[in-house]
Amino acid sequence: MAFKPSTLTFLASLTGWWIYHLFEPTDLLSTSLLLLGVPTVLTTLLQVQFTSLVTAVLAIFVSYYFILLALVTGYRLSPFHPLAQYPGPLPGKMSKLWDAWMTAKGNHHQYVRALHDKYGDIVRIGPNELSIRHGDAIAPILTKDLRKGPYYDSRQADGKPALDGIRDFVEHAARRKPWTKAMSISAMKGYSEYLTKTVDELVQALEVRQEVDISDWMTFAAFDFMGEMIFSTEFGMIKAGKDTTGIWHALEEGTFAAGILSHIPWILNFLKYSPQGGSAFVVLQTIGARIAKQRIEAGSNKRDLFHYLVSEDESTGMKLNIEAAISDGMMSIIAGSDTSATNLTHLFYFLLKNPKMKKRLQEEIDRVFPQGEETADYTKQSEMPYLNACINEALRLYPAVLLGLQRRVEKGTGGRMIGPFFVPEGTQVSAHLFSLHRDPRYFYPIPDTFWPDRWLTQSSYTLPSGDTIPSTQLTHNKAVFNPFSAGRQSCAGKLIAWMEMRAIMCGVLQKFDIDPINGSEFESYENGLVEVYITHRGALPLRLKARY
């Protein structure tokens, strides 16, 4: 008995959907067989029932894809889907391509926050993904045994997964061991000479300038410090006043693409076989690999971070292989330089908007480091309450990573309670820190306003408006504050970032008065922030005037 083409095509599409539903194949071979092999076989079997081969190919391929897409979409929107009870935008429920599109527009962090304002504390932002805005969800997501989700599959350098892209706990723990020693107190003291040199060079460069884009100069400083601290390599960006390596430009372009593709990670299996040639991300990987390999060949008599990653002078059982060390070193440059530069630029922006707060911070700096005294005492800096409050407040409003930190409730677990919500197995889930840090249930009053005083212990508080409130009216939930993530998968370089931010703020504000150059760039700074993998920021022009 001969099957009708429509019947056989429908059965094949149904089988393809069922395979995708059960096994979620993403490798090139499986995808090729399901999307190309099956309709090709159908065409071969059924072409005799069509007037020509061309007609058969068009009819069967179009019908197969249409039915497969209809089945996928229909199931995702149906009441039978495990996430059917959770609200969210229709396009997001249908495909993660919608999330990729919103990321490409650059305002994904604001978009997800708006979704929470509309739908509540739990929102379905993808076919199998939830975003949660609830303080009780942070610990179950970030500090328990949930692995990272597929969003992190793009975290590779030179073809090897970097530390923050490893999803397996055992492998992650092994890779993190050298980092434990690299972030020890003795190691941090060794890095301080690199930081002191960077801050001195930054101040000297700014002394001969009256107007600067502080956003650029924070990037120059961060890259120079990371180059020396990680690889004992001088990038010389501060001295040149520009990107001398091409790495910053490649980072900006490469991470833009990576930020979009991270929402559709299955496509990475196809792109690695495509001729990428001069793509920005490939250029970025090439530059990083070259720097790391030069460092290996040259060796070093200094204990930079790479020294600990490859255990140059000891056999401790914690040594990374060269490929892993290169990958982690490259990840350190990207994560360390960009996040520090971005956080510092944010803080300068808020101080420029609030001259009284800037003056108060300078007064604290002057008390700790009187005029003419070097500021390179990192112990004293760590004990400066208002400096730390200002940095914390900038991180609260704009955490190092604006997107939700994705984790996955694995299949076979039966699901998991995440705070007050049940999350079915096979679901990606994230706590949206950008929303949580601005939630009045956890930070009150004025949760959207830069107000460092909320981080200080006082009997009463004076608001920027001049109104005074007793401490009993302050809500300040530090457990919700996680700008560098938390748990075993938190940022390995958090202590370095803190040391760098304190040092640069003390060095610059001790020497200079700063004032905004009013104009479209300054006024639109916050609206111009773009969240794609990392935070891309626009210019922040200011005037400098020596204080003495």
For residue 543, what are the β-bridge partners? 211, 515
- Same domain, residue pair 484 and 464: no
Res 159 pLDDT > 60: no
Pick from 51-60, 150-159, 469-478: least confident: 150-159
More confident residue, 158 or 250: 250
Burial of 80 (0-12, 13-18, 19+ CB in 10 A): exposed
Half-sphere exposure of 11 (CA within 13 A, CB side): 7
| Closest alpha carbon to 256 in 389, 154, 353, 188 | 154
Q: What's the distance, CA 428 to chain centroid?
A: 17
Question: Does residue 453 sit in the same domain as residue 499?
Answer: no
Within this chain, do residues 314 and 449 fall inside the same structural domain, yes or no? no
The candidate with the shortest Cα–Cα distance to 259, out of 129, 164, 395, 152, is 152
Helix H segments across 80-164? 90-94, 97-105, 108-119, 138-142
Report the C-alpha gap between 96 and 150 in whole angstroms. Answer: 12
Q: Single out the residue of 535, 428, 410, 441 nearest to residue 133, CA to CA.
A: 441
* 97 domain-assigned: no
SS3 state at 87: coil
Kindly state whether residues 452 and 513 are assigned to the same domain.
no
Number of domains present in the structure of the chain: 3
pLDDT of res. 276? 56
pLDDT tens profile 42-83: 999 888 888 899 999 999 999 999 999 999 999 999 999 999
- CATH for 248: 1.10.630.10
Assign residue 384 a region: left if phi > 0, alpha if psi is -120 to 50, beta otherwise? beta
**C-alpha distances in Å from residue 52, one per residue of 48, 59, 243, 359:** 8, 11, 59, 81
122-131, 320-329, 477-486: range with lowest mean pLDDT: 320-329
What is the domain range of residue 64?
A: 5-77
Q: Is the pLDDT of residue 316 over 50?
A: no
Kindly list the distances between the CA atom of residue 14 and the CA atoms of 11, 29, 407, in Å, as whole numbers in the listed order. Answer: 5, 19, 30
At 313 the pLDDT is 52
Q: Is 420 exposed, middle or buried (0-12, 13-18, 19+ CB in 10 A)?
A: exposed
Claim to verify: residue 470 and residue 386 sit in the same structural domain: no
Low-confidence winner among 320-334, 354-368, 509-523 (lowest mean pLDDT): 320-334
- Contact indicator for 202, 504 with CB cutoff of 8 Å: yes
Of 76, 77, 78, 49, give the one whose Cα is nearest residue 63: 49
Q: Which residue has the higher pLDDT, 379 or 256?
A: 379
- pLDDT on residue 318: 46
Is residue 451 domain-shared with residue 417, that is, in the same domain? Answer: no
Are 205 and 228 part of one and the same domain? Answer: yes
What percentage of the chain has pLDDT greater than the value 70?
A: 93
* Residue 283 CA to its chain's centroid (Å): 20
Average pLDDT of span 251-258:
78
State how far the Cα of 541 lies from the Cα of 516, in Å rounded to an integer: 7
**44 domain residue, yes or no:** yes
CA angle 377, 401, 434 (to 5 degrees): 110
Whether residue 313 is contained in a domain is answered as yes
Report whether pLDDT(335) > 90. Answer: no
**Bridge pairing between strands 211-213 and 156-157:** unpaired
From 476, 497, 528, give the residue that closes a domain: 476
Answer yes or no: do 59 and 199 share one domain: no
Q: Is 64 in the same domain as 162?
A: no
Domain membership flag for residue 271: yes
- pLDDT at position 338 is 80
Strands (E), 139-194: 147-148, 156-157, 160-161
402 and 430 inside one domain: yes
Residue 422 covered by a domain = yes
- Whole-number Å distance between alpha carbons of 341 and 500: 10
SS3 431: strand
Burial class (CB in 10 A: 0-12, 13-18, 19+), 308: buried
| Mean pLDDT, range 193-220, rounded to an integer | 96
Tell me, rounded to whole angstroms, the distance of Cα 53 from its chain centroid. 49
- Asked if 513 and 529 sit in the same domain, the reply is yes
Same domain, 434 and 465: no
- Distance between CA atoms of 86 and 119, rounded to whole angstroms? 9
Highest mean pLDDT among 1-15, 23-37, 249-263, 273-287: 23-37
* Cis-peptide, bond into residue 445, ω within 30° of zero: yes
End position of a domain, from candidates 456, 476, 496: 476
- Residue 143 falls within a domain, yes or no? no
Would residue 88 count as lying in a domain? no
Residue 9 lies inside a defined structural domain of this protein: yes
The CA-to-CA distance between both ends of the chain, in Å, stands at 96
Mean of the per-residue pLDDT values for the chain? 88
Where is the domain boundary, 40, 56, 77? 77
Return the amino acid letter for 286. T
Q: How far is CA 25 from CA 81, 258, 415, in A?
A: 19, 21, 21
Helix, strand, or coil here: 473? helix
pLDDT of 317 above 50 = no
Count Cα neighbours of 490 within 13 Å in the Cβ-side half-sphere: 17
Cβ atoms of 284 and 257 closer than 8 Å: no
